[in-house]
Amino acid sequence: MANTRLIFGFHAVNARLWQNPKSITELYVLDGKQDARMRDVLDKAGAENVRVILADMDRLNTLSKHARHQGVVGFIDASKNHVDLDDVLENLNEPPFLLILDGITDPHNLGACLRVADAMGVHAVIAPKDKSAGLNATVSKVACGAAEVVPYITVTNLARTMRQLKDENIWIVGTAMDGDADLYHYDVPQAVAWVMGNEGDGMRRLTREHCDALVSIPMFGTVESLNVSVSSGMVLSETRRQRVLQQERSKA
Residues at the binding site are 197, 217, 226
Contact between residue 196 and residue 100 where contact means Cβ atoms under 8 Å apart: yes
Contact between residue 41 and residue 72 where contact means Cβ atoms under 8 Å apart: yes
Residues 6+ apart with CB under 8 A from 81: 20, 23, 135
Query: Which residues define the annotated binding site for S-adenosyl-L-methionine?
Result: 197, 217, 226
Residues 6+ apart with CB under 8 A from 65: 137
Residue 170 to residue 66: CA distance in whole angstroms: 43
Residue 152 to residue 123: CA distance in whole angstroms: 10
Q: How far is CA 211 from the centre of its chain?
A: 21
Contact between residue 117 and residue 150 where contact means Cβ atoms under 8 Å apart: yes
Type of residue found at 173:
V
DSSP class of residue 202? Answer: B
What phi and psi, each to the nearest 5 degrees, are found at residue 231?
-60, -45
Type of residue found at 48:
E
Contact between residue 102 and residue 113 where contact means Cβ atoms under 8 Å apart: no
